[in-house]
Amino acid sequence: MTIAAVADRRLDYLAASPPPGPPPLAEMAWIPGGAFLMGSEDFYPEERPVHQVSVDGFWMDRFEVTVADFRRFAQATGYVTVAERAPRAGDYPGVDPALLVPGSLVFHKASGPVRLDDYRNWWGWVPGASWKRPEGPGSHLQGRARHPITQVTVEDAEAFAAWAGKVLPTEAEWEFAARGGLEGASFTWGNEPAPKNRMMANTWQGEFPWENLRTDGFEGTSPVGTFPPNGYGLFDMAGNVWEWTSDFYTARHPEAGDRPCCAPHNPRVESAEQSYDVGQPGQTIPRRVTKGGSHLCAPNYCLRYRPAARQPQMIESSTSHIGFRCIVRVAAA
Ligand SMILES: [Ca+2]
Ligand SMILES: [Ca+2]
Ligand SMILES: [Cu+2]
C-alpha cells in the first residue's frame, strides 16, 4: 500500500471515530474501536474460529517499548526484572540449587539444519542473561537504545506499564489495532507477504534456525519504527519482538455466536487454569497470549508475523524475542 493510501485511510477512520481529545501521553495513536473479525481460518489451529468481537476505542503506543524507555523506568524505580532475580529453591523442588541463578532464554543460531520439533535446538537458558545483557554475559546495549526491550516477563511489562500510567492491551485490543482497519487481511499491511518486493517487517528470511538471509536488513531486533506503520500509524505490529498481552491463553477462540448483535464486547480471558500446557501433565504455570511474531519468525517454521497469530508464553518466561507495548483506555485517560 502506498503512503498516500495509508494517509487516506487514517483520515477516513479519524472522521468516523475521532479521538476524544489529545493523546494522553507522547507517541500514542488513537485506535478507534469497533467490530471486527478476530482470528483466522487459514493458518494455525489456535487462531480458529474466526469470530466477531468489538472493542472500545483506546490509545496505543506507536512503538514497542524501547531499551531507552525501560532504562528510564528501571533508573527511576530501582525495579529488578524477574530474569535478574535468583529463582527461589521452593519454587523448583528437585532442581539442583546450583542451577538456581538469575538468567534467561537466548536464541542461538544453529550451524546447519536441525529438527524443528525440539526448540532446544535453538533456545538455550543462559545464566546472567537479562535486559541489560540480552545475549548473556559479554553482550550489551550499546547502539540499541531505540531497539525494543527484550528479556522481560509479563510481570516486568506490567510493572513498567503501571509506572508509565498505562496498561497492557487485551488480545482483542491488540489484534484490532494490528489490523489497522484492514478487515480479514493476512498481514498488517494486506495480503501479500512482500508487496513490490518490499520487506514490511523484521522477520526471518531463509531457513530457520540456521540460515538468516537478512533480506530485511536485520539479523536480530531492529530499531523501532524502521518498517512502515500500519493503517493506524502503529509500527512493528508485525515482527521485531513478540508483544505481551493481558489475556491468558486458550487453545482456541470461542465459537462464533450466530447473532452479530451479541458478539463479545471488550472480551478478556482472566482465568489462568485453562492456559496450562495440556501437553505437559502437572504443568500449572499460567501462560499469557503474545502477539505479532518476531525477528525469529520464518515461513518454514513459524509464519506468525500476522495479526491473528498468537503464541502462549509462561508468565515467568523472558526471552530475547519478546517485548511489549502499552495502551491507555479512554475512561482512564
Ligand atoms: Ca530480520
Ligand atoms: Ca512487534
Ligand atoms: Cu514465530
Q: How far is the CA of 178 from the centre of ligand 2 (A)?
A: 10
Mean pLDDT estimate for the chain: 93
pLDDT at 1: 47
Least confident of 2-16, 40-54, 177-191: 2-16
Global model pTM greater than 0.75: yes
- Region 262-290: mean pLDDT is 90
Residue indicated by cell numbers 447473532: 259
- Region 149-177: mean pLDDT is 98
Q: How far is the CA of 261 from the centre of ligand 2 (A)?
A: 32
CA-to-CA dists, residue 309 to 176, 247, 312, angstroms: 12, 14, 11
- Region 285-301: mean pLDDT is 97
Q: CB within 8 A of 188, min separation 6: which ones?
A: 178, 179, 180, 182, 200, 201, 230, 237, 238, 306, 307
Question: Which ligand approaches the C-alpha of residue 222 most closely?
Answer: 1
Where residue 249 falls among pLDDT bands split at 50, 70, 90? Answer: very high
Share of the chain above pLDDT 90, in %: 83
Torsion of the alpha carbons at 226, 168, 277 and 317, rounded to the nearest 10: 60
For ion ligand 3, residues whose CB falls within 5 Å: 293, 297, 302, 304
Q: How far is the CA of 45 from the centre of ligand 1 (A)?
A: 26
For ion ligand 1, residues whose CB falls within 5 Å: 202, 216, 218, 295
Q: How far is the CA of 239 from the centre of ligand 1 (A)?
A: 9
Q: How far is the CA of 304 from the centre of ligand 3 (A)?
A: 5
**Predicted confidence (pLDDT) at residue 5 exceeds the cutoff of 70:** no
Residue pLDDT, tens place only, 63-99: 999 999 999 999 999 999 999 998 888 888 888 888 8
Q: How far is the CA of 88 from the centre of ligand 3 (A)?
A: 30
Q: How far is the CA of 64 from the centre of ligand 2 (A)?
A: 6
DSSP three-state, residue 239: strand
| 283 against 255, higher pLDDT | 255
Where residue 280 falls among pLDDT bands split at 50, 70, 90? Answer: confident
Q: CB within 8 A of 97, min separation 6: which ones?
A: 89
